[in-house]
Amino acid sequence: MKKTLLRSIGLVSVFALIPAFTTAFAAVDVSTYKELDQFMSVFERVRSDYVDKVDDRTLIKGAIDGMLASLDPHSAYLDARDRQNMRTQTQGAYGGLGLSVTMEDGAVKIMTPQQDTPAWRAGLKSGDYITHLDGNLLYGGTLDEAVDQMRGKPGSKISLTIVRPGRDKPFDVILTRELIQLKPVKWEVKDQVGIININTFVNSGTGDAVRSAISGIQKSIGHEPLGYVIDLRSNPGGLLDQAIDVSDIFLDHGEIVSQRGREKTDIERRYATSGDLARGLPIIVLVDAGSASAAEIVAGALQDNKRALVMGERSFGKGSVQTVIELSDDTALKLTTARYYTPSGRSVQEGGIKPDIAVPQLSDPDYKDRPRLREADLRKHLINEAKVDDKVLEDDGKPDPRFILTADALKKQGIEDFQLNYAIKTISRMAQAPLRTALASVKRGAR
C-alpha cells in the first residue's frame, strides 16, 4: 500500500531511520556485490569483537540509518514507534506543547510551533534552540528522548531554556502542557474579508474543511465577503491529494501541479475541475519561511494561474514528493520518489515561492535578527535542477526600508499581525476593481 506525502518536517518528532533488508539484487553489478561482502565482513567483526555485546537489530538499524541519511532529509524508515507517532499526531490527540522539532548537531531545534498551542502562545519561533528541559541539559541525547520529555499529562508544567539567534542571552519559558488536537482549518471574518487559516495538510479532510469554511464565512455575514485571505504561514505540508483538492476549490480550470520522477517520461499532471467556490473574488495567499511542500503547491498553483496574489516572505522551498510504502503491519519506508513543479514549470526546491508582494512580519519584534530555516539549510537537500540564484537564497527576509513601523508602534495601533492586517487592507482595495486591474495596481504600488 502506498500513500503520497509532501512532508516538510515531522510534527514534534523527526522519524528515526530503521528498515529491514531486502534480498532483491537482480540488477546489481559485481562491484556492488563486493561492497556488500565487505559490509558483511564489518558486521561480523563488530558482532564478535566489539568491547560490548551488541544485538543484530541495533547493528542493522545503524547500517540502514547511514544508508538513508546519505539520500535526502525526507527519506526515512518508520518503525513501530514512528508509525504510532504519525497516527497520534494526524488522527488522535496527545498531551504536549505543540512543537515541530528536529535535531541539529546534537541540539534540539524548533522547526515550527503549531497555532493555538502552548508553544505558539508563548512566542516560540522557528530557529529557536531548546537547550534544557526543567534545567536538565539536552545536548547529546536523542530526539525521541527530548520529545518524550516534552509530552506529558495535560495540565502539567515544564520549563524550556531557549537560545534564540539574535539575542544575547538564553531565556526560560514555563509552559503548561495541553491536549494537542489537530485542527487543520480555522476561519473568521474581519472587515468583511473571509480569512481561511490552513494549518496543515496531513488530515485527509482538509479540502472539505476549506469548503465548510467558505460556507461558514458566507453564512456569518449573510452575503459573499469582499474576498479571501488564505493563510498558509507556518504550514509544514502533508498529503499531495489534499493540496490538489484545496487548489481546485479556488480554480475553475488550468494545471495545478506536475509530478516528475527519475525518468524523463515519468510525468503526472493534475488539473483543476470546473467550479471556483470563491466565485472569482479577490484572494491573497499568505506565506512565510515555514510554508512548505503542500502549502507551496497551493500558493504556486494560485499564483501561476493568476488567481491570487501571494504575500509575505519567501516560502520554505521543499519541492520533493515522498511515497510511504508499507513493509509490514508496523513498519514502512518513506522514500523521496519525485519532484513537483508549479503550473508554469517552476520547481520550488531550495528557492521556494517568491511572494508577489514582500511584506515582513513587523509585529514580530525579532523578525530582523531571527534567521529563517529553509530547505536549502538542511543537509543533503535535493539540488534544484534549474539551479537557484544565490541571491534568492541570501535574501532571507531582510528589512524593507518601506516598512518602518516597529512592533511597539503597531501594538499601540491595535495591530497584532501586520501581515494579515496588510492583506485585509489590500483585499479591500482589490474589491473595488476587477481582479486583473487590481492585481496590476497593487503590484505597481509595491515597487
Instruction: Say what the pLDDT of residue 15 is.
Output: 29
User: Which three three-digit cell numbers place residue 86?
Assistant: 504519525
* CB atoms near residue 282 (< 10 Å): 27
Q: Domain spanning 185-445: which CATH class is it, in words?
A: alpha beta
Of all residues in the chain, the percent with pLDDT exceeding 70 is: 83
* List 293, 320, 347, 363, catalytic entry: 293
Of all residues in the chain, the percent with pLDDT exceeding 90 is: 47
Active site residue 53: no
Look at residues 388, 392, 314 and name the one whose alpha carbon lies nearest to residue 354.
Answer: 314
The DSSP letter of residue 376 is G
Q: Which fold would CATH assign to domain 93-181?
A: Pdz3 Domain (2.30.42)
Give the model confidence (pLDDT) of 39-82 as tens digits: 999 999 999 999 999 999 888 878 887 888 889 988 988 888 88
Residues 6+ apart with CB under 8 A from 79: 16, 18, 330, 331
Give the model confidence (pLDDT) of 150-209 as tens digits: 999 999 999 999 998 878 899 999 999 999 877 889 999 999 999 999 998 988 889 999
Active site residue 318: yes
Cα 412 from Cα 216, distance rounded (Å): 31
* List 304, 315, 320, 363, catalytic entry: 304
Instruction: Say what the pLDDT of residue 19 is.
Output: 36
* List 61, 109, 125, 318, catalytic entry: 318
List, as one string, the DSSP characters of 30-59. Answer: HHHHHHHHHHHHHHHHHHHHSSS---HHHH
Give the model confidence (pLDDT) of 422-442 as tens digits: 999 999 988 876 555 555 555
pLDDT at 127 exceeding the cut of 80: yes
Band of the pLDDT at 381, cuts 50, 70, 90?
confident
Active site residue 328: no
Cα 284 from Cα 71, distance rounded (Å): 36
